[in-house]
Chain A
């Protein structure tokens, strides 16, 4: 195994311990310290996400002003517990309610829903927005996985919450961003998970998997590796129909590494994305290039596009200081 770790059983705990030692702007709460919240509470509606570990900076890296109030942390690729979610929500609740925003995975849905019922009984109001933005994962939107689009939903919700919006306004912002974004990913290696020490799948040289998610799973189609320009073209084409991209529109583009693909490669890819969008008459209002939703050391990249209007543009441009990501 080529993985820097002490042991798989303590991997998540040691990651969390390191983050809290390095970053005093967040603190751990709840059973086992499996909730991460801002050390300086925002005071508005709570925006809480959560999910399995193994995708940093998603999810807990987005805790910070302008984005998440708190985040519940699960084991590698496993949902956080109901108790961790409820404890996180309690810690961030300032009496104005809590929004849950997370990806479309069964374990997460079961545990967030159960936590929502528990909080409701304790007098804390919640709303839920589930992201399902990965177009390759299913035809039906409600069957899709939640991937990079979570960034935009969290960004929109955090902007409205920090501006003093009420719970319904915060939920509407996350929902609107979620509905107007779509993602697609491709990989040219599997991921080596700390749990198994083995590659999640193997590819021959010159092959790639199209339509991968962020759990080291295979893609929906095995293809011959293409150039960055062709990749950009294919990714934009895969999203254009779904988003109904039209001439004159403006988008935010999130170009994301799945882990080991370099920033250099991502910017080469972005050049192609920008050109492919320009060819369709679509302008990029904002480009975010870097690690946003990863899968350990998987080689690969994903593109998420968000179609903007006036208020989405405002929410995406609002200042934010997430603990593990540079948004500006």
Chain B
């Protein structure tokens, strides 16, 4: 179980991590038009400002606010798909009550289903679907009694290998498909962005749940 405020804290860490990866993601996208990092960072920056200004206290609301921010300032295909995916995920979360593990699983599945449907992409097309679909599948198959550290390891490993599997692929969707052979040999930039987000969430999850201070301060701040 996770308090809503702790979940919002984790989500803010996710946004900060993507924001901090601007240059890295731009470099990976240099084979394309080199703006993935800048556009996602712009969206995350606005989302963080709005979360603060609006005093958002639930994860569902935080995802909605982020989706709107991405739609407003990062309306690229990737930005728009992520926005729609986050709206889908928000719809799978409880409005008020603390979050159960099943809620998080449902949210990730809703995200994966939305971006796959709207983006009309499949695993192997070298898009973020290559990471979000295996992640959603892993989560739905995990035993409910798995310990938190084991859970984190399984998720981190699965996402890491999923990104690695995009390296030899040739892009088949979006404008990246015109890159042809130039897209082979490096990971899909969108998949890397998802990994950065997931890794940040896992890190922040340890900070909010494993350490004693988390009981006093659900936001995990010191």
Q: What total of chain A residues lie within 8 Å of the partner, measured CB to CB?
A: 34
Question: Which interface residue of A9, A76, A195, A216 has the most chain B CB atoms within 10 A?
Answer: A195
Q: Are A111 and B75 in contact (CB under 8 A)?
A: yes
Q: Are B77 and A106 in contact (CB under 8 A)?
A: yes
Bound CA span A105–B76, Å: 10
Give chain A's interface residues, CB within 8 Å of chain B: 8-9, 31, 74-84, 105-107, 110-111, 114, 137, 193, 195-196, 198, 200-201, 213, 215-220
Q: Are B71 and A81 in contact (CB under 8 A)?
A: yes
Which of A81, A195, A196, A219 lies in contact with B75, CB distance below 8 A?
Answer: A81
Q: Are B80 and A79 in contact (CB under 8 A)?
A: yes
Q: Which of the candidate stretches B32-40, B89-97, B152-160 sits at the interface with the other chain?
A: B32-40
Determine if B182 is an interface residue (Cβ-Cβ < 8 Å): yes
10 CB < 8 A contacts A-B: A79-B77, A82-B71, A106-B119, A107-B77, A111-B71, A193-B33, A195-B34, A213-B178, A217-B179, A220-B178
Chain A residues near B187: list those with CB within 8 A: none
The answer to whether A78 and B76 touch (CB under 8 A), given A110-B118, A201-B182, A218-B180, is: yes
Determine if B197 is an interface residue (Cβ-Cβ < 8 Å): no
- Chain A residue at smallest Cβ distance from B120: A106
Main secondary structure of the interface of B (DSSP, over half): helix
Q: In the complex, which residues 92-127 of chain B have their Cβ closer than 8 Å to any Cβ of chain A?
A: 118-119
Determine if B142 is an interface residue (Cβ-Cβ < 8 Å): no
Q: Are A107 and B80 in contact (CB under 8 A)?
A: yes
Chain A residues near B76: list those with CB within 8 A: 74-75, 77-79, 107
Question: Which interface residue of A77, A213, A220 has the most chain B CB atoms within 10 A?
Answer: A77
- Chain B residue at smallest Cβ distance from A80: B75
- Chain B residue at smallest Cβ distance from A110: B80
Q: Are A215 and B77 in contact (CB under 8 A)?
A: no
Chain B residues near A84: list those with CB within 8 A: 75
Chain B residues near A105: list those with CB within 8 A: 77, 175
Chain B residues near A106: list those with CB within 8 A: 77, 80-81, 119, 174
Q: Are B30 and A78 in contact (CB under 8 A)?
A: no
Q: Are A81 and B73 in contact (CB under 8 A)?
A: yes
Bound CA span A38–B80, Å: 28
Q: Using an 8 Å CB-CB cutoff, how does the interface string of B176-218 with A read, 1 for contact, 0 for none?
A: 0011101000000000000000000000000000000000000
Which of A74, A111, A193, A219 lies in contact with B34, CB distance below 8 A?
Answer: A193
Bound CA span A226–B77, Å: 35
The answer to whether A217 and B38 touch (CB under 8 A), given A196-B30, A196-B33, is: no
A320 → chain B closest CB, angstroms: 29
Determine if B72 is an interface residue (Cβ-Cβ < 8 Å): yes
Question: Which interface residue of B71, B76, B182 has the most chain A CB atoms within 10 A?
Answer: B76
- Chain B residue at smallest Cβ distance from A107: B77
Which of A9, A111, A218 lies in contact with B178, CB distance below 8 A?
Answer: A218
A163 → chain B closest CB, angstroms: 33
Bound CA span A77–B33, Å: 8
B125 → chain A closest CB, angstroms: 12
Q: Are B80 and A216 in contact (CB under 8 A)?
A: no
Determine if B170 is an interface residue (Cβ-Cβ < 8 Å): no
Determine if B13 is an interface residue (Cβ-Cβ < 8 Å): no
Bound CA span A78–B74, Å: 8
Which of B33, B119, B174, B182 lies in contact with A218, CB distance below 8 A?
Answer: B182
Chain A residues near B26: list those with CB within 8 A: 195-196
Chain B residues near A111: list those with CB within 8 A: 71, 75, 80
- Chain A residue at smallest Cβ distance from B80: A110
